[in-house]
Amino acid sequence: MKRLKLIRIALVMMTLTVIAAAVRVAITGSSPAVAFADVPSSPAGVRVEPARPDSIARLIATRNPFRLGRAPSSVPFDPRASLPGAPPMPPPVPRPPLTLAGLLLGPPHAALIEGLPGSDGARLMRAGERVGDYVLRSIATDHVVVAGRDTTWTLRLRNRYQ
């Protein structure tokens, strides 16, 4: 049992040493061997001031440890800008303005839906029926669920006051 405690303490100390070396490398930009070679030993009784976390973070951010040159990119990042020579983004496909015009409750349930592409006026549909890319998923007493390629609509029945 005592042996396991000693092993655990040794592992914690090694982990802390590796973390300290990684921070030192990120700050100085030198290799680990050089990082520990230039650490002066403090004489007995002299208190060494530890670095503040905000200054360490500032150093890491300014040195940019994830770039080979340790310098910020010369090209600003803009996800909306297209690459040179790349074709422009196609305009988004407009979604149809679907509305629920009426419901027929009772076996079999049916819904009267307006605005479906490819059909003029309202169309009577049953649950599971498909019109183009649109499927009528379910019919309830006050709403229906219509699914398209990338969108699902919950269409509510309009009353005369809306």
pTM of the model as a whole = 0.44
Length of the chain: 162
- State in Å, rounded, how far the first CA of the chain is from the last one: 75
pLDDT value at position 135?
Answer: 95
Domain ranges of the chain: 1-37+50-73, 99-156
99-156: which CATH architecture? Roll (2.30)
Rounded Cα–Cα distance for residues 158 and 162 (Å) = 6
Q: Is the pLDDT of residue 125 over 90?
A: yes
pLDDT tens for 65-122 read: 777 776 777 877 777 666 666 777 778 777 788 999 999 988 889 999 999 888 888 8
Average of per-residue pLDDT values in the chain:
79
Mean pLDDT over residues 142-150, rounded?
A: 91
